[in-house]
Amino acid sequence: MKIGLVRHFKVMKGYPSASLTQERLFQWIQEYDSSDIEGKEVNFKGTTWDRCFSSDLYRAEKTARQIYKGDIDIMEELREIPIYPLFKRNVKMPFPLWMLLIRLSWMVNHKSQLEKKVDVINRIEYVVKKAMENEEENILIVSHGALMIYIQKYLVKNGFSGPKITRAKNGVLYLFEKS
């Protein structure tokens, strides 16, 4: 059995270059979530996929439809880890600092982040168990960078071997095989 992870294609909406307030950050996130993607070829390393699971967010679903010809299981469980406001005040910071602080706050289960790490792990467990229902099938999963890090860890914990993902590249296959 093989499970392939692909991060959605590159989003055309670029990252903010100037410092921004929290309010403007969340406006940018809405724009990013609805932005189009830059398609490309994906090297599947000779693997034929029997099924495809995709996040229900536009950028992932559109990527899945471009790279997989067949029915796609669209799954809310494969959504990116959501982010929520950190402060009540509208502090202005550079975009990378915002993302670092928000992701760190999520990792330590800060009260501002409504979806906790355990909730994300439960989503991943559900998806991987569904993928493993038929061990004769090869499953392609199209998702998001941060979530893929945790999917990879769960796959390895469950007997798969494959590359360590620290920062997933857009439109690149990360192939895992059951040992």
Domains in the chain: how many in total? 1
Closest CA to 80 of 22, 173, 143: 143
Q: Domain of 94?
A: 2-178
Q: What is the CATH number of the domain that holds 142?
A: 3.40.50.1240
pLDDT tens digits for range 56-96? 999 999 999 999 999 999 999 999 999 999 988 889 999 99
Encoded tokens for 27: 């406006």
For the segment 115-154, what is each residue's pLDDT rounded down to a tens digit? 999 999 999 999 999 999 999 999 999 999 999 999 999 9
What is the reported pTM? 0.94
Secondary structure (3-state) at 153: helix
